[in-house]
Amino acid sequence: MTMTGYYDFVLGVIPLSLFGVSGVLTVVGVETTLSVLVAASIAVAFMGHALFVRTPTDQEPAEQLSTDQSTERSARVETNPVRSD
């Protein structure tokens, strides 16, 4: 699943868990306050997973990253010449 698809899934699960889980628990006989609390906890768990486990970052290919780092290192060496006084 692509990252865009994953976040679309998370955005769909948030209201589904809030309304669906709280509605089912209320129909089963759980108090409304407790059912909303449980449903909100599930929604927060999905949001936490989306933010901290599968972080929304752009990942660079390893090949490009290694070339960028070597270019950066050579630039640092050139800008700090050794003086021979």
pLDDT tens across 2-57, in order? 777 888 888 999 999 999 999 999 999 999 999 999 999 999 999 998 888 877 77
Q: Which residue in 66, 47, 45, 67 sits closest to 56, CA to CA? A: 47
Q: What gap in Å lies between CA 38 and CA 10, rounded to an integer?
A: 17
In a domain, 84, yes or no: no
pTM of the model: 0.60
Query: What is the chain's length?
Result: 85
In a domain, 2, yes or no: no
Q: What gap in Å lies between CA 43 and CA 15, rounded to an integer?
A: 8
Domain span at residue 20? 8-57
HEC string of the chain equals CCHHHHHHHHHHHHHHHHHHHHHHHHHHCCCHHHHHHHHHHHHHHHHHHHHHHCCCCCCCCHHHHHHHHHHHHHHHHHHCCCCCC
In a domain, 29, yes or no: yes
How many domains in the chain? 1
In a domain, 33, yes or no: yes
